Amino acid sequence: MIAASSEVLKFPILSALIVLPLVGAIVVALLGKSRPEWVKLAALVSSVTTGALSLWLLGAFKSGEAGFQFVSQHLWISQWGISWHLGVDGISLFLVVLTGILFPLVIVGIDPHHNETSYLAWMLLLQAGVMGSFLALDLFLFFVMFEIVLVPMYFLIGGWGYDQRVYAATKFFLYTMAGSAFMLVGIIATVALAQRDLGVVTFDVVKIAEG
């Protein structure tokens, strides 16, 4: 049985892991028009701060405690049982930390051959989507985050790939969108079955697992 940990952090650190790179992407896009020389620094600050928070999370995580920790939950679409529900367990923790470490290294190590502003903005949006996918405890939220990941991936492959990059990006997008359609059907079916058992519509992973 999956149980949510009783530990709910007052500071929404999990939300910050998503919002920080998202805000960073917006800042980078705006700076590209007025202060292009600050673009890489802004991207690096955003990504490194996100990485530092993920490392703090690793140190603060209680390995002997079952369930999800640092839970953050707020109603989003109440009539459908959809909420902004985030949490981290022993498996997702290391994926979050890995994401937090790798993206700053990518920003430092790669020098895009053109349009650095767009490249860095897409990278930060990708980081936000990946973080959200690993932290989501709501099936609808997970689906949204997964779809967000596809958008920067498409533009990164198509804009900064090598030979046949547009073909590769289009193929990637079509295949993943087709897979997303099947995933959405699976999510809806899961929610429908859970409604039969629980008597309410919910996309909450914890409630569905316990039901």
* Gap between the Cα atoms of 46 and 28, Å rounded: 10
Amino acid at 11: F
**Percent share of the chain, pLDDT over 70:** 95
197 vs 101, more confident? 101
Mean pLDDT of the chain: 91
Which pLDDT tens digit goes with each residue over 112-142?
888 899 999 999 999 999 999 999 999 999 9
DSSP state letters, 118-151: HHHHHHHHHHHHHHHHHHB-BHHHHHHHHHHHHH
Q: Given a cut of 70, is residue 7 above it in pLDDT?
A: no
State pLDDT tens for residues 45-62. 999 999 999 999 999 999
Would you state the pLDDT for residue 167?
A: 92
Q: Is the pLDDT of residue 35 over 90?
A: no
Using the predicted structure, report yes or no on whether residue 30 has a pLDDT greater than 90. yes
Question: Contact 42/107 with Cβ under 8 angstroms?
Answer: no
Res. 94: pLDDT tops 70: yes
pTM of the model: 0.90
pLDDT band for 1, please (50, 70, 90 cuts): very low
Q: Tell me, what's the pLDDT at 134?
A: 98
**What is the pLDDT, as a whole number, of residue 199?**
87
The answer, yes or no, to whether residue 90 has pLDDT greater than 70, is yes
Residue 197 has pLDDT above 80, yes or no: yes
Radius of gyration of the CA atoms of the chain, in A: 18
User: What is the pLDDT at residue 11?
Assistant: 78
Higher pLDDT, 3 or 23: 23
Q: Going by C-beta distance under 8 Å and a sequence separation of 6 or more, which residues neighbour residue 50? A: 16, 17, 20, 21, 24, 100, 103, 127, 131
Residue 3 has pLDDT above 70, yes or no: no
Residue 86 is predicted with a pLDDT of 97
pLDDT at 9: 52
Q: What is the mean pLDDT of residues 143-152?
A: 96
